Amino acid sequence: MKRPTRLFALAIAAACMVGGLAGIPAASASSTDAAFNSATGGLNVDYAKYLSKHDIVYNRPNTDPDYGLTVGNGKTGAMAWNDNGLKMQVSGVDASEQTAFGAGLVKLNTTPAMDTGYSTFQQRLSMYNGTLTTKYDSNRTVTVMGKPNSEVMGVHVDDTRGGVSSVSLDLSLWDLGQLGNSGDVPNLDTWKNVSTYADSTGAGISRGQADPNNFGYTLAATVEGAPFTTKVVDSKTVRLTITPSSSYTIWFTTSTRLNASDHNSVNAAKSALSSVKSTGYASTLTSYQNWWHSFWQKSFVQYSNATGDADYMENAYYLGTYMIAAGGFANYPFHFINGDFRATGDNTKWSNAYWYWNQRDVYNSFLASNHADVMNTFNNLYSRNFNTLKAYTKTRYNVDGIWVPETMGWDGNARGTVGSDYTKNIWSTGYEAAFNMYQQYKYTNDSNYLRNTAYPFMREVAKFYTQMLSVDSSGKYYVASSNSHETYWNVPNAITDLAAVRSLFPIAIQTAKDLGQDASLVPQWQKVLDNLIAYPSDANTYLPHTPPIAQTRNNENVASELIWPYNITGIGYPDQQKAVNTWNARPFPYGNVWANDAVQAARLGLGNQTFDGMKTMLKKYQTYPNGLTDNTNGVFEYFGVHLSAMNESLLQSYNGKIRVFPAVPSDSSFVGKFTLQASGGFTVSSEREAGEVKYVGLKSQYGNSTTIVNPWGNQQVRVRKASDNSTVLTTSDPEFKLTTAANTVYVVERTAKPLSGYSATTLTGTANQDAKTLAGTNSTLGIGKTANPMVNDSAVTYDSNWYSTSARGYGDYNDDTHHSTVVGATAQYTFTGTGIQYLSERNGDMGKVDVYLDNALQGTVDLYVSGARQAQQVVWQKSGLAGGSHTIKVVNKSTSVGMIDAFRITP
């Protein structure tokens, strides 16, 4: 994790939506029907229609790259916006170390331009199909899609306009002269050196071709369905000139050296493009859509209420799942801050390594949503580096075991950790990696994975702790000095380390016994467990380490880690109230994009706090209409937290007990329905409406036993085998053990109100057609037909000489501004409209700025005024512009303060 920065919120809600929630129908519910399918063990869902209500829709062209919609095939992704047509920044997860560098820009150009001369426009991200489709009237449709299990994507164009005189596709890079080593690459020059090719098969750009780690890639393209020629335009641009046609497909790839059999990315690109072109667009699109359909059908979540707030949260759930999965099937993890999606060239931060805390936020929900293959990508980063980590642990600590650096490079290196006071003495990361591997086993029942991967890693981490703990005169084990994560440095008895031992050692002991291994280690681990000192605490709360509390260095709620993800307290535990007190007293509520407060609230059974927490996180961090954030500490991370919080509010199974709806809001209109995966290999489905849980459906995949918490308290329930309706158990106990048979569906129902009393239904939906807003926040999904005239300063592109401030209290729009005292400091914004106003403060410490419109100097504006400071002043304006795209540029003229507060756009 990183040092915190402030968030600058962006108000982008369409004017017609101000004052409430738009685009979301009130939740429709029926307490008399049920969607459970006794044959499959899941809910009956029309996934195509249901997910269509969560499509992200732009009803006017978006020219802001930060708002670009995101589409990907699991390994390669694109962030797309409108620039007199279609423009995308493309990235590949495995293209560079920690996905530090973007792959390039793809720009489709037509004459006349694709987005001229139309009356209707809609751009739609369909999560069910995995496609991004842009329609202009009825005569132009551009569809971005991909080939599954590959690094290939496509742009299919249907353009039946008459008079199209030219079509071209440019692949290009940005200026690499100032490229920094944000990705900890061993040779930056190989990432500055660019090679190109253009021949009859297509054209491409390559970088990183001499990277000694075998990273590097080729961004290349070809065309299906129309003749084309190719040429190298300049040192960083190649072009395909396409004969105008009513229908054609452009295939492009970010073929990586890492995944090429001979590390030759050019050959790999040519081969991949030839293959997909031979298969053809229609067949590839069908295969791609089927791949996404299969992905979605593995689980289901409904989270809705009468006001629509919960429905917006549900939309964010599906969008976040889509974005992470769109980059979640590569060799290396979807980096928490880069992933596949950005529009900033190579500019990024925190790319020198994978921060475990942040990566867990992205990935930890995917076991419950029945996508262990996605979680496996994350776990593989650590298991594949087993030998490297073990060797480095010996070198650094002179102990036999595994210590995992909190900030670890792709190859297991610790350079990002050992040089940082924030992370160099964190011990607990190894536990988290080992525990997540064990969790993967618990959800998949893969005994080979347990024996060959998860347990060996668990064993080595347990050995590390056994040797690193100190022993006092009474025989108690304690931690002399380590970091209590990033927030408290070099402190005694970090609660994260004590919790790691209490969580890991029991399962390591049991697994060793089950596997018949390490008989000599088990007594050592048991001795440590039996004699470990208590957690640091006061009378009411747990503390992050033994007092006195050290200076705080980061905004983490470390003591709350016991609740999640360390999994050693929660609902029904003897210390539940103390855990609740600790959560209530946490020092940094929702303090940054990594804040997992809402997940922990769910684990404590705090339904209203879970709901409010998810909404708070969206309010604070979901600032762009594509679902992303302007907080540069983690572009996707808060989405991952959101997924975990919603899953945990609906189903919990972390302690071997299955609980349905453990943390839902008290709102009587709330409707919750789900099919999710429980630890132990159980597919669990349930529905809750009007405050009533209707039933619990359970499909046992492997025949394990489990404990079910009675959702009706002490009411009598029966457990019925769905295949023959035989009753296998009747009980009024508040929780009960269920022994199951593999591949068998069971129904847990009230004896007095069985499932048979509900009529059968299928869950469905109506396709979204507009932008949505979250009431009481600036959060929106999608863009409406009518632009919000106010554009906050944070949407503007600034050079490095501008500085942002927030919470100013002077009356600025959104209470934030950007300012500079550097002569020549430049900021610009591209907008679509017929007029613009430039808003700023005026004050006695302020100077002059030049204003340009479409690269023509409009005049010099003096921001100086004597007397009181003036806020939200229109300091320059222009009207009567030709409708279309324009760019305003502001250049600071002096060492006095130049400022931008906002722009007001006339559509």
- Is the model's pLDDT at 23 over the cut of 50? no
Q: Which residues pair with 848 in a beta bridge?
A: 862
Could you give phi then psi for residue 110, rounded to 5 degrees? -135, 155
* Whole-number pLDDT of residue 28: 47
d(C-alpha 570, C-alpha 563), whole Å: 6
> What is the tens place of the pLDDT at every residue in 783-825?
998 777 888 998 899 999 999 998 889 999 989 999 999 999 9
Tokens representing 238 are: 């190649």
Burial class (CB in 10 A: 0-12, 13-18, 19+), 242: buried
Letter string b/e over residues 831-842, b meaning 16 or more CB atoms within 10 A of that residue's CB: bbbebbbbbbbb
Among 175, 594, 92, CA closest to 347: 175
Q: Which residue has the tokens 């059968």?
A: 760
d(C-alpha 737, C-alpha 12), whole Å: 51
* Whole-number pLDDT of residue 14: 32
User: Which residues, including other chains, have CB under 8 Å from residue 751's CB and lie 6 or more apart?
Assistant: 715, 716, 717, 718, 730
- Is the model's pLDDT at 25 over the cut of 80? no
Q: Which of 19-23, 338-342, 766-770 has the lowest mean pLDDT?
A: 19-23
Average pLDDT score over residue span 242-247: 98
Average pLDDT score over residue span 405-432: 97
Please say whether the beta carbons of 252 and 153 come within 8 A.
yes
What DSSP line would sit under 533-560, residue for residue?
Answer: PPPPB-SSSB-SSSSSPPPP-S---GGG
- Is the model's pLDDT at 202 over the cut of 90? yes
Q: Which residue has the tokens 């995308």?
A: 88
| Percent with pLDDT over 90 in the chain | 90
* Whole-number pLDDT of residue 85: 85
> What is the tens place of the pLDDT at every residue in 73-124?
999 999 999 987 899 999 999 999 999 999 999 999 999 999 888 889 999 9
- Is the model's pLDDT at 436 over the cut of 90? yes
> What is the tens place of the pLDDT at every residue in 486-541?
999 999 999 999 999 999 999 999 999 999 999 999 999 999 999 999 999 999 99
* Whole-number pLDDT of residue 794: 86
d(C-alpha 220, C-alpha 227), whole Å: 17
d(C-alpha 594, C-alpha 354), whole Å: 14
Average pLDDT score over residue span 889-906: 95
Could you give phi then psi for residue 549, rounded to 5 degrees? -70, 130
Tokens representing 906 are: 């006339």
Confidence class for position 38, pLDDT limits 50, 70, 90: very high
Among 752, 776, 611, 732, CA closest to 692: 752
* Whole-number pLDDT of residue 16: 32
| Cβ neighbours, 10 Å, residue 199 | 9
Among 865, 859, 857, CA closest to 840: 865
Strand 780-781 and strand 744-750: the pairing is: unpaired
For residue 635, give the 3-state DSSP assignment.
coil
Residue 398 region by backbone torsions, left for phi larger than 0, else alpha for psi between -120 and 50, else beta: left
Burial class (CB in 10 A: 0-12, 13-18, 19+), 36: buried
Mean pLDDT of the chain: 94
> What is the tens place of the pLDDT at every residue in 652-666?
999 999 999 999 999
Please say whether the beta carbons of 122 and 224 come within 8 A.
no
> What is the tens place of the pLDDT at every residue in 372-381?
999 999 999 9
Q: Which residue has the tokens 């499909």?
A: 699
Length, in residues, of the chain: 907
The dihedral built from the CA positions of residue 471, 477, 478 and 479, taken in this order, carries a sign that is positive
- Is the model's pLDDT at 7 over the cut of 80? no
The dihedral built from the CA positions of residue 900, 904, 906 and 907, taken in this order, carries a sign that is positive
> What is the tens place of the pLDDT at every residue in 580-596?
999 999 999 999 999 99
Please say whether the beta carbons of 662 and 605 come within 8 A.
yes
Average pLDDT score over residue span 287-293: 98
* Whole-number pLDDT of residue 19: 31
- Is the model's pLDDT at 5 over the cut of 80? no
Give the angle 481-487-492 at the CA atoms, nearest 5°. Answer: 20
pTM: 0.87
d(C-alpha 533, C-alpha 681), whole Å: 34
* Whole-number pLDDT of residue 30: 67
Please say whether the beta carbons of 889 and 852 come within 8 A.
yes
Q: Which residue has the tokens 């159980």?
A: 682
* Whole-number pLDDT of residue 836: 94
> What is the tens place of the pLDDT at every residue in 836-882?
999 999 999 999 999 999 999 999 999 999 999 999 999 999 999 98
Average pLDDT score over residue span 19-34: 56
In angstroms, what CA-CA distances link 46 with 50, 51, 419, 684? 6, 8, 52, 18
> What is the tens place of the pLDDT at every residue in 331-363?
999 999 978 899 999 998 899 999 999 999 999
* Whole-number pLDDT of residue 200: 98
Q: Which of 6-20, 198-212, 327-341 has the lowest mean pLDDT?
A: 6-20
Letter string b/e over residues 122-161, b meaning 16 or more CB atoms within 10 A of that residue's CB: ebbbbbbbbbbbbbbeeebbbbbbbbbebbbbbbbbebeb
Average pLDDT score over residue span 145-155: 97
Tokens representing 84 are: 């007199």
Confidence class for position 4, pLDDT limits 50, 70, 90: very low
In angstroms, what CA-CA distances link 719 with 195, 499, 729? 66, 36, 5
For residue 691, give the 3-state DSSP assignment.
coil
